[in-house]
Amino acid sequence: MWQREPTLADFCFNSPLAEIASQLLCTTKVNLLYHQIFVKDSSEIAERTDWHNDLAYWPVRGSTMSLWLALDEVDEERGALEFIRGSHDWNRWFDIVGPVERNSDFEPLPKFDVERDKHEMLSWQMQPGDVVGFHALTVHGAYANRKPN
C-alpha cells in the first residue's frame, strides 16, 4: 500500500517505527518486509482473529518481528490482540489459517482456546499511536470487535 499511498510511504520510512524495531532487534539495519491494515468493523459479523504466528506466512527466516500499531482505541471489546507468553521460544511453526495453500512442514494449530488454562495470555488496552512489538513466532490472535461503531 505504501507504493500507492504517499502518506503511508512517509509513515513507513519516516516514523519512529524503524528505530523501535532496530532497538528491539539490537541491530542497525531494519528491512520492511510488508505492511497491512486490519479493519475490524463491528457492524459486520464480530469474529475472533484465529491464533497464529506470523512467520509461517512469510518467505523469510532469522530475526523477524511484527509491529502492531493501534489507529483507534483498542481493548477486549474492540478487538485487542492477545498473545501467548513465551510462545516464540517454542520454535514451533504452526500451519497457516485461511484460504491459502498449506505447508506440510508446519504443525497443525493446537486448540489454544480450549487450552487457555495451560498458557499465560497477555493483552493490553491501547490508545491510537500505541505500538506492540513481538517476535514473529509469537502465537497471537485477537478478540472480536463487539463494540458498536
pLDDT for 43-102, tens place per residue?
Answer: 666 788 889 999 888 888 877 899 999 989 999 999 899 999 999 999 898 888 766 666
pLDDT band at 42 (very low <50, low <70, confident <90, very high): low
Please tell me the number of Cα atoms within 13 Å of 111 on its side-chain side: 2
pLDDT at 103: 66
CA separation, residue 18 to residues 6, 13, 29 (Å): 17, 7, 9
Place of cell 517505527: 17
Strand order in the sheet with 140-142: 49-52, 140-142, 81-84, 121-122
| Residue spans per domain, the chain | 38-142
pLDDT at 43: 64
**Burial of residue 82 (number of CB atoms within 10 Å: 0-12, 13-18, 19+):** buried
pLDDT at 99: 64
**pTM, rounded to two decimals:** 0.87
What's the mean per-residue pLDDT of the chain?
87
Ranges of beta strands (E only) in 21-101 are 49-52, 65-69, 81-84
pLDDT at 127: 97
Q: Which residues pair with 145 in a beta bridge?
A: 78
pLDDT at 63: 78
Compute the distance between CA of residue 22 and CA of residue 28 in angstroms, rounded to an integer. 6
What is the CATH number assigned to the segment(s) 38-142? 2.60.120.620
DSSP 18: H
Q: Over 90: is that where the pLDDT of 135 sits?
A: yes
pLDDT at 105: 79
Q: Over 90: is that where the pLDDT of 147 sits?
A: no
Most confident of 30-39, 63-72, 103-112: 63-72
| Mean pLDDT across 7-12 | 90
